[in-house]
């Protein structure tokens, strides 16, 4: 079997809730295999509900194995904090990071699958955003 | 401020200390505004941030007027967990950058910081005037101050003009339907309530005028 030599796209889950972020990393991790860097960046610095741009920046840096990072967020201010995190990381890292505008849970699961299959940054982002259209067959 | 509108390190620190007190006094009020159309934590979050700021202020020493605001900005980013963290953090970082490198600056540098802060806030949140946000107080204030200084209005009066514009902008948010922020999830139900971010922004500018402008 060929050794996995190409780095895989990393994934960061941002939520106002540390529990949501960690739970989703666990859930998506079931689909991702052990090589995908899948990190949680949820909650404010003191553990309360909220977001922490510094923590998000650290997670993005850690998730980057060289193939870039897709960041998924729950609500608007998680996007704000994520954008600020990119400003803090600088243009080079920001250039290799993509913020998904799609759903958090479905997007993270799909992104984890695609990342572990070796998809590149643009493809993983597209899959994460297309997750908005996945049907749940509730009829 | 004297006639030339010059601001020292201590003037800037005094402004921030006053604002921290204003936030503490208005914590419940800001949270009430935010519970009507948000997640009920604006006052709590800002108070947490500015409590952390106060602890750092005393240790700062004074030959760069920008150091105070840079410290405030980085502290808020890591202690205010809502939208206010990134947004006020960016505003204060820009104030700090505009005022740095000198032991005292003029109101023109402060205006440049306000202007750059507004740009930074817009870059992060993509809000426009009328979206019912802090920008609805900050932008009119920036415009009024710019106009007043360009007209040669004395600095103390120019700053008071800016505060009046911020107050009018804050009150004008009442009928607006929110298009940004947690309030936007409420849609039409956000109308009829004053925006908490515009309120805390007005209070920030008022604290500057109360600290620096002799009441005439």
CATH superfamily of A10-132: Phosphotransferase system, mannose-type IIA component (3.40.50.510)
What pTM did the predictor assign? 0.91
Interface of B with A in 77-106 (CB under 8 A): 77-83, 85-87, 89-90
In the annotation, is A133 catalytic?
no
Identify whether the C-beta of residue B30 lies closer than 8 Å to the C-beta of residue B42. yes
Q: What pLDDT score was predicted for residue A4?
A: 55
pLDDT over 90 for what percent of chain B? 76
* Bridge partners for A69 per DSSP: A10, A97
Which of A30, A50, A48, A49 minimizes the C-alpha distance to A38? A30
Backbone φ/ψ region at B187: left (φ over 0), alpha (ψ -120 to 50), beta: left
pLDDT tens by residue, A70-105: 999 998 789 999 999 999 999 999 999 999 999 999
> CA A70 to CA A63: how far, in whole Å?
9
> CA B17 to CA B14: how far, in whole Å?
5
pLDDT tens by residue, B10-27: 999 999 999 999 999 999
Identify whether the C-beta of residue B91 lies closer than 8 Å to the C-beta of residue B75. no
Identify whether the C-beta of residue A63 lies closer than 8 Å to the C-beta of residue A39. yes
Q: What pLDDT score was predicted for residue B56?
A: 95
Q: What is the mean pLDDT of residues A52-73?
A: 97
Q: Do residue A44 and residue B90 have CB atoms under 8 angstroms apart?
A: no
Identify whether the C-beta of residue A106 lies closer than 8 Å to the C-beta of residue A133. no
| Domains along chain B with CATH numbers | 6-212 (1.25.40.340)
The answer to whether residue B119 neighbours chain A at the CB level (below 8 Å) is: no
Q: How many residues does chain B have?
A: 216
Residue B117 has pLDDT above 90, yes or no: yes
Identify whether the C-beta of residue A100 lies closer than 8 Å to the C-beta of residue A122. no
Chain A / chain B CB contacts < 8 angstroms:
61
Element (H, E) at B169: helix B155-172
Which among A45, A53, A77 is the top mutation candidate for probing chain B, defined by the most B β-carbons within 10 Å of its own β-carbon?
A77
pLDDT tens by residue, B127-160: 999 999 999 999 999 999 999 999 999 999 999 9
CA-based angle A97:A103:A108, to the nearest 5?
60
CB-count exposure of residue B102 (10 Å: 0-12, 13-18, 19+) = middle
Residue A3 has pLDDT above 70, yes or no: no
Q: How many CA atoms lie within 13 A of A51 on its CB side?
A: 28
Strand, coil or helix: B65: coil
Q: What pLDDT score was predicted for residue B215?
A: 56
Residue A54 has pLDDT above 70, yes or no: yes
Q: How confident is the model at residue B182 (pLDDT cuts 50, 70, 90)?
A: confident
Closest Cα in chain B, distance from residue A111 (Å): 25
Looking up tokens 């607006």 gives B176
* Bridge partners for A70 per DSSP: A11, A98
Q: What is the mean pLDDT of residues A108-132?
A: 96
Residue A1 has pLDDT above 70, yes or no: no
Residue B74 has pLDDT above 90, yes or no: yes
Q: Please name the residue of chain B whose CA is at the shortest distance from the CA of residue A47.
A: B81
* Region of poorest pLDDT, from A13-17, B66-70, B104-108, B180-184: B180-184
Catalytic residue among A8, A9, A11, A16: A16
Query: Higher confidence at residue B121 or residue B102?
Result: B121
Asked if this assembly's ipTM is beyond 0.90, the reply is no
Residue B165 has pLDDT above 60, yes or no: yes
**Helix, strand, coil percent content, chain A, rounded in steps of 5:** 50, 15, 35
Which of A64, A63, A40, A62 minimizes the C-alpha distance to A52? A40
Neighbours of A55 (CB within 10 A): 23
Domain ranges of chain A: 10-132
Q: What pLDDT score was predicted for residue A33?
A: 82
Q: How confident is the model at residue B214 (pLDDT cuts 50, 70, 90)?
A: low
* Region of poorest pLDDT, from A29-33, A37-41, A99-103: A29-33
> CA A36 to CA A112: how far, in whole Å?
7
């Amino acid at each position: 079997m060929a050794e996995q030599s190409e780095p895989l796209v990393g994934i960061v889950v941002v939520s106002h809730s540390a529990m949501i972020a960690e739970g989703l990393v666990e859930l998506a991790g079931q689909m991702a295999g052990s090589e995908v860097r899948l990190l949680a960046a949820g909650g404010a610095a003191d553990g309360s509900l909220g977001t922490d741009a510094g923590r998000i920046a650290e997670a993005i840096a850690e998730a980057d194995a060289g193939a870039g990072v897709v960041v998924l967020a729950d609500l608007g201010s998680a996007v704000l904090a994520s954008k600020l995190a990119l400003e803090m990381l600088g243009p080079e890292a920001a250039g290799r990071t993509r913020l998904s505008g799609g759903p958090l849970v479905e997007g993270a699961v799909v992104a984890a699958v695609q990342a572990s299959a070796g998809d590149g940054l643009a493809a993983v982002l597209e899959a994460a955003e297309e997750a908005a259209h996945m049907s749940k067959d509730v009829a | 401020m004297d006639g030339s509108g010059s601001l020292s390190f201590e003037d800037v620190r005094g402004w921030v200390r006053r604002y921290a007190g204003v936030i503490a006094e208005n914590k419940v009020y800001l949270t009430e505004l935010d519970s009507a159309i948000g997640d009920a934590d604006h006052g709590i979050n800002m108070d947490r941030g500015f409590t952390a700021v106060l602890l750092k202020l005393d240790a700062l020493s004074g030959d760069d007027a920008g150091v105070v605001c840079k410290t405030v900005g980085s502290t808020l980013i890591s202690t205010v967990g809502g939208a206010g963290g990134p947004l006020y953090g960016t505003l204060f970082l820009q104030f700090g950058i505009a005022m740095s490198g000198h032991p005292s600056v003029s109101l023109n540098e402060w205006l440049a910081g306000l202007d750059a802060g507004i740009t930074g806030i817009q870059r992060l949140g993509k809000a426009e005037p009328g979206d019912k946000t802090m920008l609805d107080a900050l932008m009119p204030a920036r415009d009024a101050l710019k106009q007043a200084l360009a007209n040669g209005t004395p600095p103390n009066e120019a700053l008071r003009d800016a505060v009046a514009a911020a107050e009018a902008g804050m009150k004008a948010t009442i009928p607006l339907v929110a298009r940004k922020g947690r309030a936007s999830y409420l849609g039409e139900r956000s109308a009829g309530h004053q925006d908490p971010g515009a309120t805390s922004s007005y209070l920030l500018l008022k604290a500057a005028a109360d600290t620096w402008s002799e009441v005439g």
